[in-house]
Amino acid sequence: MHRTPPNPPTIRRAGGVRRGSSLVAAAVLAFGSSAALAPAAFAQEAPAVDAPAQALNWGACPERVTTPSAVCATLKVPMDYADPGGEKIDISVVKQPAADPSARKGVVFGNSGGPSGDVLSFFDDGIFSWPQELRNEFDLIGVQPRGLPDSTPVDCSGAELMDPVTSATSGGGALRAACEQHTPGYTEHITTENTARDWEEVRKALGEDQIDILGLSYGTTLGSVYASLFPAQTDKVVLDSGVSPNHVWNGLLNAQDPAFKARTNDMFEWIAQNDDTYHLGNTALKVYQRWSDLVVEEVGVNPSVAPPPAQVGDVPPAFTALAQQYIDGTNLVNPARAQLDNLVGTLTNPGANQMNSAVLNQTRAAVPQSAVWPYIAQGIVEGLGDGAGTGEGAPGDHEADAAAALQATYMQRMVLCNENQVPANPLSYPEFLWTTFVTGDIYDMYGATYDSGAACAGFPATTKLPALSADALKTKPLQLQGLRDPQTPYQPGMELAAQMDAHVITVGGGDHGQFAKGNETVDNAVLEYLRTGHTDVTEAPAPPIPMPEA
């Protein structure tokens, strides 16, 4: 049975929430790009020299790790693997021992994506419902990526004070300078390859001959890099929601933007299909209009993302005889009207900007996780009830979370700018300026920001991913890919499957992340693969959407 998330999300009004003072603050958890690539040859990281494996002294984990059996340890690794005798950094490791030692089959190294996702809590139950068979048969290992809290975090203090002109013209360089000021010499070594080499040091410390891999989203890139560098130490590889190696990294956001819009409409359609529960309207367009009203109530301006297409249920009785003409006309006018209304509202209402809307931001964040849709729907209902919102506490209560998200974003920018291989597209720069500094449209902003090169302007790439190959693996990788996943769209994901010669399971629906999400077909196939190295499953239905208990 799929579990609903603990502390389910609610629609929180922005109130006094401030718009981020730098470009990066507005781009939490988005994939990055580089404005310009260095013309010099890229230097590949050298492997560390052989050294005696360190002992892992297991102890208590940080409070955010909630699984009672979990233990944590810290490992010293080279900051620069080309200089293994040089400066060391700390890497945190979490282990959830196999619950049934007699059935233990090995270890699974997991990564939650990002690249800045917290890995120490990845194998806790919550958003994921890890099959008990997985817990029984495998030690579950999480290696917190370098640059994040508990693994020598990169310190970029002061970057949040970046002025808009700097943010727009050389934001990447200014960010790197801030990070170098506080953690000198570190930024260029926060890379996927180095994180993969950190995994190898952990494997040696564990005393395991081989590891199994479970990578989610960006974790499919990290897992593929490890398997390519260390094929003899790699057994099974599960790639959940694959990222195209051809999108590294400038190209991913543009692929995401239209997919996020389509999946948002899927959510509105689902809410409409459950109108007996939510009473927000029996068509996706009616639900959108109620949701848009809530954004206006919150920040004084409507969202500019295009409404879903009109349906027969949207036709007023007076136009029944001309229903199709009404629908066609509505669908022709509505996208432009949403943008025009937003522009007029933004220009005539000082301080009003949709980017400040917690409702809008939480909605976009929820779109890839259908299990969260019921909470978004209920939040819209409650938010429209009395104009007071449903969030608990003042915006200041969430400052710690915002600070952690900002720090994670800085680490992510280090990885993405260091590794970017897709040239900037200057034709996207006007859209970047328009969406960032005028309309605040978060559905178009991220793609334009990275495609234009603004995200890494002044921060040229310093390395590139190792070539990906499964040729030396004894077991073919398994890849799970959702048909309408907005974060890792299906067709680009197939480029990773081809590169890694993976057996693919195509999953219906549009969730991001397929394993341990209540989908029995997927879960059983992954367990079969981890046990035997094989599964015949090639298709799976969409996961169920659990309705919260009353």
pLDDT bin (cut points 50, 70, 90) of residue 251 is: confident
Q: Tell whether 336 is covered by a domain.
A: yes
Which residue is associated with the tokens 């009395």?
Answer: 386
Closest by CA position to 117, among listed 150, 148, 152, 160: 148
The answer, yes or no, to whether residue 240 has pLDDT greater than 50, is yes
Average pLDDT over residues 515-543: 98
The 10s digit of each residue's pLDDT in 265-318 is: 999 999 999 999 999 999 999 999 999 999 999 999 999 999 999 999 999 999
Q: Tell whether 329 is covered by a domain.
A: yes
Per the prediction, the chain carries an average pLDDT of: 88
The answer, yes or no, to whether residue 36 has pLDDT greater than 70, is no
Find out whether 543 and 519 touch, Cβ atoms under 8 Å: yes
pLDDT bin (cut points 50, 70, 90) of residue 191 is: very high
Q: Provide DSSP, 50-98.
A: P-PPPP---BPPPTT---TT-EEEEEEEESSTTSTTS-EEEEEEEEE--
Enter the pTM of the model: 0.88
pLDDT-wise least confident of 3-17, 55-69, 118-132:
3-17
Range of the domain at 350: 259-385
The 10s digit of each residue's pLDDT in 346-376 is: 999 999 999 999 999 999 999 999 999 999 9
Q: Tell whether 454 is covered by a domain.
A: no
Determine the number of helices (DSSP H) and then strands (DSSP E) in the chain. Answer: 15, 9
Q: Tell whether 447 is covered by a domain.
A: no
pLDDT at 5: 36
Distance between CA atoms of residues 380 and 286, nearest Å: 13
Which distant-in-sequence residues (6+ apart) come within 8 Å of 78 by Cβ? 48, 84, 85, 86, 87, 88, 89
Phi, psi (rounded to 5 degrees) for 433:
-60, -45
Find out whether 537 and 513 touch, Cβ atoms under 8 Å: no
The answer, yes or no, to whether residue 33 has pLDDT greater than 50, is no
The answer, yes or no, to whether residue 1 has pLDDT greater than 60, is no
pLDDT bin (cut points 50, 70, 90) of residue 429 is: very high
Find out whether 488 and 243 touch, Cβ atoms under 8 Å: yes
Angle (nearest 5°) at CA 258 between 253 and 291? 110
pLDDT at 406: 83
CB atoms within 10 A of CB 233: 16
The answer, yes or no, to whether residue 180 has pLDDT greater than 80, is yes
Closest by CA position to 454, among listed 479, 433, 475: 433
Q: Tell whether 5 is covered by a domain.
A: no
pLDDT-wise least confident of 6-15, 312-321, 427-436:
6-15
pLDDT at 301: 97
Cα–Cα distance list, 246 to 152, 253, 359, 423, 481 (Å): 30, 12, 33, 11, 17
Per the structure block, which two tokens stand in for 422? 């897709």
pLDDT at 51: 61
Per the structure block, which two tokens stand in for 253? 């956001």
If DSSP states are collapsed to H, E and C, what string results for 238-290? EEECCCCHHHCCCCHHHHHHHHHHHHHHHHHHHHHHCHHHHCCCCCHHHHHHH
The 10s digit of each residue's pLDDT in 126-146 is: 879 999 999 999 999 999 999
The answer, yes or no, to whether residue 473 has pLDDT greater than 90, is yes
The 10s digit of each residue's pLDDT in 8-31 is: 344 444 433 223 323 223 333 333
**Crossing angle between the packed helical segments 192-206 and 218-229, to the nearest 10 degrees:** 60
Do strands 88-96 and 71-78 pair parallel, antiparallel, or not at all (unpaired)? antiparallel
Cα–Cα distance list, 237 to 121, 201, 242, 250, 501 (Å): 20, 18, 12, 26, 11
Distance between CA atoms of residues 119 and 222, nearest Å: 13
Distance between CA atoms of residues 322 and 218, nearest Å: 49
Q: Tell whether 280 is covered by a domain.
A: yes
3-state secondary structure of 9: coil
Per the structure block, which two tokens stand in for 104? 């233990």
Q: Tell whether 303 is covered by a domain.
A: yes
Cα–Cα distance list, 501 to 227, 237, 479, 493, 536 (Å): 12, 11, 9, 12, 15
Q: How many domains does the chain fold into?
A: 1
Which residue is associated with the tokens 């009473």?
Answer: 279
Distance between CA atoms of residues 311 and 383, nearest Å: 26
CB contact burial 520-540 (16+ within 10 A = b; e otherwise): ebbbebbbebbeeeebebeeb
Average pLDDT over residues 85-99: 97
The 10s digit of each residue's pLDDT in 461-470 is: 999 999 999 9
Average pLDDT over residues 423-449: 94
